[in-house]
Amino acid sequence: MPIPTQAPLKFLDPEILRSLRSLDIAARLLVEGMYSSRHRCPHYGYSVEFKDYREYAPGDEPRLIDWKMLARTERHYVKRFEMESNMNVVIMLDVSGSMAYRPSDPARLTKFEYACYTAASLAYLAARQQDAPGLVAFDTEIRTFVPPRQGQRHLFSLLSCLQSLVARGGTRVEECVAKSALRLTQRGLVLLISDCHGDEDAITEAVRRMAARGHDVAVFHLVDMDEAEFPFQMLTSFRDIETGVEVMCDPLRQKRDYLGRFAAFRAKIRGGVVAGGADYRFIHTGMPIESILREYLLYRRAAK
The per-residue pLDDT for range 98-110, each reduced to its tens digit, is: 999 999 888 899 9
Candidates 280, 102, 147; CA nearest to 204 is: 280
Is residue 14 classed exposed, middle or buried when 0-12, 13-18 and 19+ CB atoms within 10 A define those classes?
exposed
Backbone angles phi, psi at 77, to 5 degrees: -125, 150
Whether 148 and 132 have beta carbons less than 8 Å apart is answered as: yes
Determine what percent of the chain is predicted with pLDDT higher than 90: 69
pLDDT in tens, 114-163: 999 999 999 999 999 989 999 999 999 999 999 999 999 999 999 999 99
Ordered strands of the 39-45 beta sheet: 39-45, 77-85, 49-55
Please give the pLDDT value at position 86.
Answer: 80
pLDDT in tens, 235-244: 989 999 998 8
Give the three-state DSSP class for 157. Answer: helix
d(CA 165, CA 116): 9
Domain with CATH 3.40.50.410 in the chain: 14-30+87-303
Please name the residues in contact with 26: beta carbons below 8 A apart, sequence gap of 6 or more. Answer: 297, 300, 301, 303, 304
Whole-number CA gyration radius for the chain = 23
Average pLDDT over residues 162-169: 95
Whole-prediction pTM: 0.81
Whether domain 14-30+87-303 has CATH 3.60.21.10:
no
Output b/e per residue, 35-49; b: 16+ Cβ within 10 A. eebebbbeeeeeebe
Average pLDDT over residues 72-94: 78
Quick one: DSSP state of residue 273?
A: H
pLDDT in tens, 8-36: 678 999 999 999 988 888 766 544 443 34
